[in-house]
Amino acid sequence: MPSCNETLTWVREPILDPFTREGAGIVGFLKNKLSLASDDGTIRDVVLVFKEMSRQQTYNVGDDSKLMKVVDDRVAAMKDKDWKRLVEQRVKEIRATRSAE
């Protein structure tokens, strides 16, 4: 099984930038994908896209309370404690980006 960093690098390379650039135009799709996700990998990947949207300021994820509720609910449901801890850190970064703006 690849390490957390190896997996995040793989996700970042092929799909992260196109999704991130779309900003608000893709949020509905990603929110739906996240709300239906039952596997840790999908939750992790979607939260990573949201984190990058916040960092690149293509969408203010932290100010979208309905989206953040979905994020919090799905992260709470994660099964793998190591992935969950990593994703919880990404959620904190999303919230910190919000408060820094």
- On whether residue 70 sits in a domain, the answer given is yes
For 9-13, 58-62, 81-85, which range has the lowest pLDDT when averaged over its residues? 9-13
- On whether residue 40 sits in a domain, the answer given is yes
On whether the pTM is more than 0.85, the answer is no
Interval 7-20 mean pLDDT: 61
Number of structural domains in the chain: 1
Enclosing domain of residue 53: 4-93
Band (19; pLDDT cuts 50, 70, 90): confident
- On whether residue 98 sits in a domain, the answer given is no
- On whether residue 88 sits in a domain, the answer given is yes
pLDDT at 2: 44
Is the pLDDT assigned to residue 1 strictly greater than 70? no
- Nearest-angstrom CA–CA distance, 21 and 42: 19
- On whether residue 39 sits in a domain, the answer given is yes
